[in-house]
C-alpha cells in the first residue's frame, strides 16, 4: 500500500504559523489524523492541530516536549477516534526532508504510545522552511517500530501545494516534446504537474479532450474511469473515436487509452484505465488513489460521489458542464458553460445546484435508465435534456483545464478562481457568487476520510455496459483482434523509429 498525507489549506496555514517561528528556531506540535483508504494508497488526513501550552514544550534552537503534552494529545486523538500525528520544523530545510537520527529516535518513542492509545499508527511530519512537508507513517510495534515513507504530502488550499518524496516519486525526465510546455511555466512546475496522479471520471465529449491534453502535458499517471460504449450517436463529439469503434462496440476507455498512448509526452507514462463507474465500490476505491479528479460526468449519482470525495477525502474535483437554450423555432438562443474546483472552502456541487441530491437515489435504483420512467417525466425536467455539441463541449474542456492550470501552476501566485460561468451570446465570463448553505453537510464533512457516508453501491448500468460488450458476435470479436493488430503494428513502428 502506498502512503500519503493530505491536509486542508486552513490546517496547513495554522500549522505553518506555529512551526515556522519568527526567531528561526525549530518548533513542534501534535495533531489528529484520520485515514482515507483507496485501492492501493492510504492517505492520512491531518485533522486538527493540538498546539502546545507554554509549559508543554521547550524551544532551545531545537525543540523538545514534555511527556504530559504527548499524553494529552494522544488522549484527545483517542477521544475523537482519530490517530495521532507529530510534526516538527526544519526552518533551514528545503523540500522533502530525510528523517535524521535524532528525529527518528524522538518519533519512535511516541509511536508506541500513539498506537496503544489510539489504535492507529503515528504519523510523523516535518515542515521545511519553504513550507514543503515530508511525512512517514510508523509501522510495527515495540522495539520494531519503523517509519514507512509517504510518497507525497498535499495541502488543499487556494492553490494546490504538494511535496513529493523524490526517492519514491522521482522527478521525471524532460523529453524533447515538452520544450514548449516547460517554456510556459518552468521546469519546477512541470516536475510537479507531471508527478500528479490525475483522474478523469467520464470520457465523453469533455473528458476525452481533457484526457488527451493531460497526456500531452506530460502527466505520467492519468486515470480513466468510464463504463460506457462508443455508439454512432457519440461520433459528432467524441475525440479519437470513429465509426469502427462504434461498429466494434469498443468501450470509451479503449479510445482514451489509444489517445493517451499516441499523445503522451511523458518519458514513462503509466496510465490506469478502468471500465468502472466511480459509483461502484471498486471504482470509488481506485478513485481515492488519485490527487485531483476531473469530473466529466453529467448525472447526479457520480456528481454526488465526486462531491463526497472532494470534501471527505480532500481530493479536489474540477467540474463543469454545458447548458444550451433554444428559441421556439429550435434555433440556438444562448449557451452557458461553467467550471469550478470543488474543495473545502469552495461551494460544493449540491449548493451550486450542479446536481439534486434527491435524484441520486432515482439514478441508483435504475429509474434514470428506465425508458418508461423517463417518458413520464415533465418535458422541462433537467433529466430529459440531451443537448451537446462538439464546438461547445471543447469550451467546457478548456474551462476545466484552465481551472487545473490555475490551481497547480498558480499564475502570479494566485490559485483557482472559484466558480465561473461563460456566456456564449454575450461573450462574457462571470464569477458565480454562490456560497454553501450554512451547515452544509459536505463542508462539515471535510477531511473525515473513511468516516464518510458511503456513496457507492452496485451500478447496474455499468454492469450492463460491460456485459453487453462481452457478449458480442464472433465477427465483432475478430474485428477487434484485427483492429488491435493494426494498433500494435503502429506502436512497433513508432518504437522502431524512436530507437
Partner 1 sequence: MNGVAAFVAGLRELGLEPEQRGGLVVVILDVGPASARGPHRVGADPPNDYPRVPPHWLHLQRGLVLAEDPGRASELGDDWWRWSRPHPKWKGNDNAARQWVAHARSLLLVAQVV
Chain residues that interact with partner 1, rule: CB under 8 A: 304, 308, 356-362, 364-365, 367, 373, 376, 437, 439-441, 453-455, 457
Largest CA distance in the chain: 79
Taking the least distance from each CB to partner 1, the nearer of 392 and 436 is 436
| Cell representation of residue 306 | 465526486
- Kindly state the smallest distance separating residue 475's Cβ from partner 1, in Å: 39
Torsion angles phi and psi, residue 218, rounded to 5 = 100, 10
Instruction: Work out whether strand 332-342 and strand 272-274 pair parallel, antiparallel, or are unpaired.
Output: unpaired
- Kindly state the smallest distance separating residue 371's Cβ from partner 1, in Å: 14
Taking the least distance from each CB to partner 1, the nearer of 177 and 367 is 367
- Kindly state the smallest distance separating residue 465's Cβ from partner 1, in Å: 22
- Kindly state the smallest distance separating residue 441's Cβ from partner 1, in Å: 5
Q: In what order do the strands lie in the sheet with 2-8?
A: 146-149, 133-139, 123-128, 83-90, 28-37, 41-50, 2-8, 152-156, 160-164
- Kindly state the smallest distance separating residue 304's Cβ from partner 1, in Å: 7
Taking the least distance from each CB to partner 1, the nearer of 383 and 405 is 383
Taking the least distance from each CB to partner 1, the nearer of 208 and 362 is 362
- Kindly state the smallest distance separating residue 442's Cβ from partner 1, in Å: 8
Map residue 67 onto helix, strand or coil: helix
Cβ-proximal residues to 233 (8 Å cutoff; 6+ apart), any chain: none
- Kindly state the smallest distance separating residue 288's Cβ from partner 1, in Å: 16
Map residue 412 onto helix, strand or coil: helix
HSE, CB side, 13 Å, CA atoms: give it for residue 336: 11
Residue 46: name the closest of 154, 145, 159 by CA: 154
| Cell representation of residue 293 | 479528479
Distance CA 73, CA 465 (A): 50
Taking the least distance from each CB to partner 1, the nearer of 338 and 364 is 364
Taking the least distance from each CB to partner 1, the nearer of 279 and 399 is 279
Map residue 152 onto helix, strand or coil: strand
Taking the least distance from each CB to partner 1, the nearer of 64 and 376 is 376
Amino acid at each position: 500500500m502506498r502512503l500519503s498525507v493530505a491536509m486542508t489549506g486552513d490546517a496547513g496555514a495554522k500549522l505553518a504559523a506555529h512551526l515556522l517561528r519568527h526567531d528561526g528556531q525549530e518548533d513542534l506540535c501534535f495533531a489528529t489524523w484520520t485515514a482515507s483508504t483507496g485501492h492501493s494508497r492510504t492517505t492520512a488526513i491531518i485533522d486538527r492541530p493540538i498546539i502546545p501550552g507554554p509549559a508543554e514544550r521547550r524551544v532551545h534552537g531545537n525543540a523538545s516536549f514534555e511527556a504530559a503534552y504527548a499524553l494529552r494529545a494522544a488522549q484527545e486523538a483517542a477521544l475523537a477516534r482519530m490517530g495521532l500525528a507529530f510534526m516538527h520544523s526544519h526552518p533551514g530545510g528545503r523540500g522533502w526532508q530525510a528523517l535524521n537520527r535524532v528525529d527518528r529516535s524522538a518519533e519512535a518513542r511516541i509511536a508506541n504510545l500513539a498506537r496503544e492509545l489510539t489504535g492507529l499508527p503515528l504519523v510523523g511530519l516535518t515542515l521545511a522552511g519553504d513550507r514543503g512537508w515530508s511525512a512517514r507513517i510508523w509501522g510495527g510495534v515495540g522495539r520494531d517500530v519503523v517509519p514507512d515513507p509517504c510518497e507525497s504530502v498535499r495541502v488543499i488550499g487556494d492553490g494546490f501545494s504538494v511535496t513529493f518524496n523524490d526517492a519514491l516519486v522521482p522527478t521525471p525526465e524532460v523529453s524533447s516534446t515538452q520544450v514548449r510546455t516547460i517554456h510556459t511555466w518552468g521546469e519546477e512546475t512541470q516536475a510537479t504537474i507531471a508527478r500528479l496522479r490525475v483522474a478523469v471520471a467520464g470520457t465523453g465529449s469533455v473528458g476525452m479532450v481533457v484526457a488527451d491534453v493531460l497526456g500531452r502535458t506530460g502527466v505520467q499517471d492519468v486515470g480513466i474511469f468510464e463504463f460506457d460504449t462508443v455508439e454512432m450517436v457519440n461520433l459528432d463529439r467524441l475525440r479519437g473515436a470513429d465509426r469502427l469503434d462504434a461498429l466494434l462496440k469498443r468501450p470509451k476507455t479503449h479510445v482514451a487509452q489509444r489517445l493517451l498512448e499516441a499523445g503522451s509526452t511523458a518519458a514513462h507514462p503509466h496510465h490506469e484505465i478502468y471500465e468502472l463507474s466511480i459509483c461502484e465500490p471498486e471504482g470509488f476505491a481506485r478513485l481515492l488513489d488519485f490527487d485531483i479528479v476531473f469530473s466529466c460526468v453529467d448525472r447526479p449519482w457520480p456528481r454526488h460521489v465526486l462531491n463526497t470525495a472532494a470534501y471527505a477525502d480532500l481530493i479536489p474535483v474540477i467540474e463543469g458542464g454545458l447548458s444550451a437554450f433554444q428559441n421556439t423555432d429550435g434555433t440556438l438562443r444562448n449557451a452557458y458553460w461553467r467550471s469550478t474546483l470543488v474543495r473545502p472552502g469552495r461551494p460544493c456541487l449540491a449548493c451550486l445546484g450542479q446536481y439534486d441530491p434527491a435524484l441520486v437515489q432515482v439514478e441508483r435504483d435504475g429509474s434514470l435508465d428506465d425508458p418508461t420512467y423517463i417518458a413520464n417525466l415533465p418535458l422541462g425536467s433537467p433529466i430529459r435534456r440531451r443537448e451537446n455539441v462538439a464546438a461547445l463541449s471543447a469550451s467546457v474542456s478548456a474551462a476545466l483545464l484552465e481551472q487545473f492550470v490555475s490551481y497547480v501552476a498558480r499564475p502570479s501566485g494566485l490559485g483557482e478562481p472559484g466558480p465561473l460561468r461563460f456566456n456564449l451570446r454575450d461573450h462574457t465570463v462571470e464569477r458565480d457568487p454562490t456560497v454553501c448553505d450554512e451547515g452544509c453537510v459536505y463542508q462539515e464533512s471535510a477531511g473525515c476520510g473513511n468516516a464518510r457516508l458511503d456513496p457507492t453501491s452496485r451500478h447496474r448500468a455499468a454492469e450492463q455496459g460491460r456485459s453487453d460488450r462481452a457478449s458480442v458476435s464472433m465477427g465483432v470479436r475478430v474485428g477487434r483482434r484485427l483492429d488491435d493488430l493494426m494498433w500494435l503494428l503502429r506502436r512497433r513502428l513508432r518504437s522502431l523509429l524512436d530507437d
